[in-house]
Amino acid sequence: MLVNLGIVLPIFALILTGWIARRSGVLGPNATREVNRVVVYLALPALLFDIMAKAKPAEIWQPGFILAFTGGCAVIFAGTLLWRLWQRHSLADAAIDSLNASYANTGFMGFPLVLAVLGQQAMAATLIATIITVCILFGVAIILIEVGLQSKARGRDIVWKTALSLAKNPLLIAPALGAVVMLAGIPLPQPVESYLKLMGGAASPCALVALGLFLAQNSGRRPKAGNTVQVTLVVLKLFIHPAVTWVIAFPLLGLSPAVGGTAVLLAALPTGTGPFMLAEFYEREALLTGRVVLITTILSVATLSLYLALT
């Protein structure tokens, strides 16, 4: 538990920093949106490009792990999406809630936790999980959100407007360009690497500060969706997501304890800040998302410790 607490404490500290900055008046009411725009348009694209460009095809080709981790994310994402659509929510809001239930914090928490618990040999699997989460899963959600926002237009207009929005979205362009660089084997010059490291390194801290700003600005408010939806999303992320991943990894695929266990551990991580960034950027129900991120992060200290004790 001490290992988990040491990893989670900086996350709380960054959220608290944003909360104090807003409550004390150091940052004004527009700070949340502006800090979030820095993440969406500058820091996160740099991070996504850097992750993809530096990945090695031979290193990330682990079919068993990819199937187990992607399968767990896909089942939870699709199930949550259908559930929220059945409740007559818009496609855009349903897509964000689906991210809440399936978007593991592999980038900020995954690497230090896996390194401390499993060692260097599991770093490649963590990189794969990060690519699947922040590039593929994130990209699917963005596409669904854009389609949902254009739902009132005619069929041909929906396709055209959605394609135009996606073509201008830095969160899709950046990893796509990074994949081109990776596949072409183009080495990045040292100044470019330094730039990407500096800019991309700001993504998670700024997103967490933005979350603190938002929670301070909206303290006392209740999510429109209600506590039942909030609790359900927390349960889906912390319990159902790793359970589904376990079923896929062991009974279905018969993976080794090392490979399957890594997939389940990464699936058990709390919700990352990606869903909050999209909810705030697209002006959806960000309060629900912010609370899910905060609650799952707090509870993960106990749930991850329990999982590690059992395994």
Per-residue pLDDT at 218 exceeds 80? no
pTM exceeding the 0.75 threshold for the entire prediction: yes
Residue 101's pLDDT is 94
Q: Using the predicted structure, report yes or no on whether residue 178 has a pLDDT greater than 80.
A: yes
- Distance in angstroms (rounded) separating the CA atoms of residues 275 and 271: 8
Least confident of 3-12, 38-47, 110-119, 174-183: 3-12
**Is residue 122's pLDDT more than 90?**
no
Helix axes of 63-86 and 91-102: crossing angle, nearest 10 degrees? 140
Alpha-carbon distances, residue 165 vs 39, 94, 146, 155, 159 (angstroms): 18, 19, 7, 16, 10
pLDDT band at 268 (very low <50, low <70, confident <90, very high): very high
Residue 167's pLDDT band (boundaries 50, 70, 90)?
low
Whether residue 272 is predicted with pLDDT greater than 90 in this model: the reply is no
- Which range of residues forms the domain containing residue 112? 2-310
Domain count, the chain: 1
Distance CA 262, CA 161 (A): 40
pLDDT digits 0-9 by tens, 233-266: 999 999 999 999 999 999 999 999 989 999 999 9
CATH number at residue 101: 1.20.1530.20
Please give the full DSSP string across 99-166, using - where no structure is assigned.
Answer: HHHH-B-IIIIIHHHHHHHT-GGGHHHHHHHHHIIIIIIHHHHHHHHHHHHTTTS-HHHHHHHHHHHH
* CA gap 31, 111 in Å, rounded: 29
